[in-house]
Amino acid sequence: RGRAERQDFIVAFGGGVVGDLGGFVAATYLRGLPLVQVPTSLLGMVDAAVGGKVAVNLPVAKNLVGAFYPPRLVLADTELLTTLPPGELIAGWAEVIKHAVILDPELFGEFRRVGGRAATNLDPEITPALVGRSVAIKAWVVSQDEHERTGLRMVLNFGHTVGHALEAVLGYGQIRHGEAVAVGMVAAARLSVAVGLLAEEVADQVENLLKEFGLPVQLPPQVEPAALIDRIYYDKKVAGGRPRWVLLRRIGETVIRPDIPDGLVLEVLNTLRP
């Protein structure tokens, strides 16, 4: 009805879903309209709005239909985080912690220092600093490998192989994205230990930090680990018919492994059952 023209722009004002959907419309309508992202959730600020990826889900898996379409502008005001319910705020910290785990040992140490009180106690100095640092990490990775051609950007998928599968198995909207990613990070850390890459005490540190922030670290009781294995094969990182796992060597250093047997993954997932 509005008869938008190519000089018009779309403002995606909302959380990650709004940003993805608004961005998808901007990327496809009239073969592209300028996009402005105004994220109102923590997850939107540190993840969806700054990734340059826009997509919609299909029933079998997340983000299967979409495009690389960077916004012209991202406006993130951490004051908006005060409007969030506690559960939404807590879920957003999963992506912030993920950035620390994969690329910033110093930030990981800062999270361990401030502890879980930062989860819902939005300090006017600490919160913008943590969010800003997390955004800078993701923006740097995206700027180096915008279209996922060098493999660098794949490190951002740490925790997402199991996380996305968990969302699909439960049904979209039944678990928050950040909650699913938190469980996925624990799974990836434990898998890293199982293949001899990571010291068990470091996996414990990752799990304990997520717990401190009120995030889940176990599978929901109704989820069968075998069902997750099936969904993992719909992951966009699958190549040559094999999932490519983002695993940890240490805090700040990841490795991509396409050779992880499904049986070992299932064994690790079974340890995450409540």
What is the predicted pLDDT for the residue at 43?
A: 94
Residue 272 has pLDDT above 90, yes or no: yes
Angle at 165 between CA 215 and CA 70, to 5 degrees: 85
For residue 261, being part of any structural domain is answered with yes
Q: For residues 19 and 122, state if they share a domain.
A: no
Domain that holds residue 59: 10-79
Q: What is the pLDDT of residues 117-166, one digit of tens each?
A: 878 889 888 899 999 999 999 999 999 999 888 889 999 999 999 999 99
Question: pLDDT higher for 62 or 158?
Answer: 158
Residue 193 has pLDDT above 90, yes or no: yes
What is the predicted pLDDT for the residue at 94?
A: 96
Residue 62 has pLDDT above 80, yes or no: no
Cβ-in-10-Å burial (0-12, 13-18, 19+) of 4 comes to: middle
Q: Residue 63: pLDDT band by 50, 70, 90 thresholds?
A: confident
State the average pLDDT for the chain. 94
The CATH number that applies at residue 138 is 1.20.1090.10
- Residue 96, phi-psi category: left (phi > 0), alpha (psi -120 to 50), beta (remainder): alpha
Q: 260, 203 in Cβ contact below 8 A?
A: no
Q: For residues 228 and 117, state if they share a domain.
A: yes
What is the predicted pLDDT for the residue at 25?
A: 95
What is the predicted pLDDT for the residue at 268?
A: 98
For residue 2, being part of any structural domain is answered with no
Total domain count, the chain: 2
Domain boundary among 33, 55, 79: 79
Q: For residues 175 and 265, state if they share a domain.
A: yes
Domain boundary among 79, 109, 134: 79
Q: For residues 46 and 92, state if they share a domain.
A: no
Domain boundary among 79, 112, 133: 79
Q: For residues 69 and 140, state if they share a domain.
A: no
Q: For residues 72 and 98, state if they share a domain.
A: no
Q: Residue 38: pLDDT band by 50, 70, 90 thresholds?
A: very high
The whole-number average pLDDT for the span 199-211 is: 98
The CATH number that applies at residue 34 is 3.40.50.1970
Q: 185, 241 in Cβ contact below 8 A?
A: no
Q: For residues 209 and 233, state if they share a domain.
A: yes
For residue 4, being part of any structural domain is answered with no
Tell me the backbone φ, ψ of residue 213, rounded to 5 degrees.
-85, 10
Q: For residues 52 and 104, state if they share a domain.
A: no
Q: For residues 120 and 168, state if they share a domain.
A: yes
What is the predicted pLDDT for the residue at 87?
A: 94
Instruction: Report the predicted TM-score, pTM, of the whole model to 2 decimal places.
Output: 0.92
The residues carrying an active-site annotation are 31, 53, 95, 138, 148, 153, 157, 160, 164, 177
